[in-house]
């Protein structure tokens, strides 16, 4: 029989609390109250990779989002992901072009 340490008993409980939906919603509410009190707008951060089809679609949708919601948009130009994150880059590029074309029709 294995004896578990106090840490092994407590960590799941602590993790469950820190990652709970209830805590997330409470943090969001607190942040929203603070943002509102400071009269700051909602901010949408847009990480735009110039050659990415999904980024192109989103760039086209940004004005629609701004018209529908009162948000300020901050655009961040980014480069392509590292090779370690995209082991088969050509496949990803081909699929993302097809997928973005399908999404654009929606």
pLDDT in tens, 37-69: 999 999 999 999 999 999 999 999 999 999 999
> Is the pTM for the entire model greater than 0.75?
no
Helix (H) or strand (E) holding 71, with range, is strand 71-78
Give me the percent of the chain exceeding a pLDDT of 70.
Answer: 97
Q: Where are the domains of the chain?
A: 1-40, 41-106
Output the CA torsion sign for 57, 62, 63, 69: positive
CB atoms under 10 Å from CB of 25, counted, come to 10
Contacts of 69 (CB under 8 A, 6+ apart): 42
Instruction: Give the pLDDT confidence score for residue 6 in this predicted structure.
Output: 84
- Mean pLDDT to the nearest integer, 22-35: 96
């Amino acid at each position: 029989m294995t004896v578990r340490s106090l840490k092994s008993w407590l960590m799941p409980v602590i993790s469950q609390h820190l990652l709970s939906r209830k805590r997330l919603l409470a943090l969001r509410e607190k942040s929203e109250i603070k943002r509102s009190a400071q009269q700051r707008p909602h901010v949408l951060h847009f990480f735009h990779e110039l050659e990415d089809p999904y980024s192109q679609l989103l760039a086209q949708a940004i004005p629609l989002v701004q018209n529908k919601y009162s948000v300020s948009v901050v655009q961040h130009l980014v480069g392509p992901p590292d090779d370690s994150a995209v082991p088969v880059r050509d496949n990803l590029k081909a699929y993302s072009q097809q997928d973005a074309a399908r999404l654009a029709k929606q």
